[in-house]
Amino acid sequence: MIRPDFEKMDGLVPAIAQDAETGEVLMMAYMNEEAWNKTLESGEVHYWSRSRQELWHKGGTSGHTQTVKSIRIDCDDDTVLFLIDQIGGAACHKGYRSCFYRELKDGEVRECSPLVFDPKEVYK
């Protein structure tokens, strides 16, 4: 069994969600040991919300959950990569497919990921 070293960074490790089929990086959040265990138990990714200081089931409100297909841990045991199936099409709480929806290219900023839902309608 592989397991992140939660001691290294005061109990939190970066967790990257990547689309298992396309390879697109969808988001990065943090995970504590409780979120890790809940993810393993449920098969859906859970994170630790640093702003709310609570466990966070991705998609628990919006329905845009992340089903785990594979889990990878880096060589230092302090970063987790989840290969996931993004249910509902959006990983970003702002309604975009990816949290990395803005791109700086040739000196110009543009949106590079589709808007999937209106957050004002989902997070009432």
> CA torsion sign, 120 to 122 to 123 to 124?
positive
Contacts of 69-72 with CB under 8 Å at 24 or more apart are 69/20, 70/20, 71/2
> Can you tell me which residue has the tokens 């265990």?
37
- Tell me the C-alpha distance between 24 and 74, whole Å: 18
**Residue 19 counted as an annotated binding residue:** no
Q: Is there a binding annotation on residue 78?
A: yes
Beta bridge mates, 48: 30, 55
> What is the residue whose two structure tokens read 């630790």?
48
Parallel/antiparallel/unpaired status of strands 80-86 and 13-19: parallel
Residue 76 labelled as part of a binding site = yes
| Annotated binding-site ranges for Mg(2+) | 74, 76, 78
| Annotated binding-site ranges for Zn(2+) | 75, 92, 99
| Annotated binding-site ranges | 74-76, 78, 92, 99
